[in-house]
Each structure stands twice: as C-alpha cells, then as structure tokens.
Amino acid sequence: MTISIVIPVYNELEAMQTLPDRLLRVRQNFKCDSQVIFVDDGSNDGTENLLPVIADNYQFQVWKFPRNSGRGAALRKGLALATGEVVVVMDADLEHYPEDLGDLLLPIFGGDADVVVGNRYAAGAYRNVDRFGHRLCNRLLTWWVDLWSGLDLEDVACGYRAMRREVADKLVLHEDRFGTEIEMQMQWARAGVRIAEVPVRYRARVGGKKLRLWRDGFKFIWLTVRYRLWP
C-alpha cells in the first residue's frame, strides 16, 4: 500500500529541526511508497522559511496558507493533496512519536480496521506527565463522545490517526480548529467503519499548547451534539 502522511504545521520551528530526519528514517523502514505533506498554516516564527528547504532536501511536499486558518483548514487541504491508499494524520509538535507509525498502520495493513486512532492512555503506552486538567478533560470528553456516537474509544482527542483512502475521501469537514476530530469520529460512527485503537507514546508539550482546555473542551461537547443531531 502507498502511504500519505499529512502534517499541519503552525510555528513549530524547534520541532522542525528534528522531525524531518525522524520521518525519513521511519519512511525508509517501509517497503512501500510514501508521501509526506506539510501544510504550513501561516507560520511566522521562521518555520515558513525552513519548510521550503526541508521540501527540497527530503523530497517532501509543502503547501502554505498566507495566514493562520486553523488546524482543521490545514487538515482539509492536506487530505485533498494526499494520494496514498492509506492516509496518516499527525501533528508537527512531536507530542507523538513518528516511530509509532508502524503500530498505527498494522491493523489496516492486516485488514482488521478501516481507521486506527492512537491511544495515549492505553496500557503499555508511555507518556510524560501531562497536566491533570487536560487528562481529566480528555476523559470526560471521551465518555461524552462515546455516549453520543456509540463508539467505544478511550482517547477521542488524540490527533494521531490513520485511515483508508476510501474513508478519507468520504469525510466532509467544516471546522477550522480542533473540532475536526469530533467531526471525523461522528461521521465514522454513522458510516459504521471499523475503528481500532493502538497505544502510542506521548510527550506532553510543556508550554504553548494550541488547544485551549476550556474553550475547545466546551466546543467539543457542543459539536458532538450538533453533528449527531444535525449531520
């Protein structure tokens, strides 16, 4: 199978010093063609100047928004550019490990799942100490989404996920921020796709998180109801 890796990027200059090398090593471990797409969401910290150099040196693909439009908007563009039979979505901030990509793809390659979602809280998954408020909010959000969707996930807010091409093509996303995670899961639930979770390692960002605990948390609650009742 061919793989497309979609990575929204916004002001991640420090992470971009090491992420390309790690992605290159991971890509070399797969005996199949792969496409890496960075979608620059209007960065202004120097990332916007580094990404074209990375694209030339590593044969990665880069798309740039002239201004910050949100992770959801960047994700929509990346999905539109993806050509692989399997599409992987991951963040550029290195909270997740590119080296876990093989575990994420295994259920799809084995024919056991159409979508695979990373689980930061599963037994055997390593994670740095995250703020208690974020862990509690994620647990409550997961319970809420499972209740309304009929899914049985343990970590609905994990942005590290993979899906078959035909599943990605059927997504209709409208949210410009992190609400796309809820949109995707509610659409998967309605379509009855096979979803698997696998443990992924997690290193919590110490500062500068772009997801706002209370603002985005309450919006996730509303979006769950909105996309369940008015899809």
* Residue 86 dihedral angles phi and psi, to the nearest 5°: -125, 135
Measure the CA–CA gap between 108 and 194, rounded to whole angstroms. 10
Measure the CA–CA gap between 107 and 42, rounded to whole angstroms. 34
Note down the domain range covering 121: 3-229
- Helix ranges (H only) for the chain are 19-28, 47-58, 71-81, 101-109, 132-149, 165-170, 180-191, 213-229
pTM above 0.85, yes or no: yes
* Triad 85, 60, 99: Cα angle to 5°: 70
* Pick from 228, 231, 68: nearest CA to 149: 228
Amino acid at 21: D
CA neighbours within 13 Å on the CB side: how many for 119?
Answer: 18
Measure the CA–CA gap between 37 and 82, rounded to whole angstroms. 8
Burial letters 188-211, b for 16+ CB under 10 A, else e: bbeeebebbbbbbbbeeeeeeebb
pLDDT in tens, the chain (231 residues): 899 999 999 999 999 999 999 999 988 887 778 899 999 999 999 999 999 999 999 999 999 999 999 999 999 999 999 999 999 999 999 999 999 999 999 999 999 999 999 998 886 666 665 666 677 888 888 899 999 989 999 998 888 999 999 999 999 999 888 788 889 999 999 999 999 999 999 887 665 555 565 667 788 888 888 888 877
* Residue 134 dihedral angles phi and psi, to the nearest 5°: -70, -40
CATH of the domain at 174: 3.90.550.10
At residue 177, the pLDDT reads 81
At residue 16, the pLDDT reads 95
Number of domains forming the structure of the chain: 1
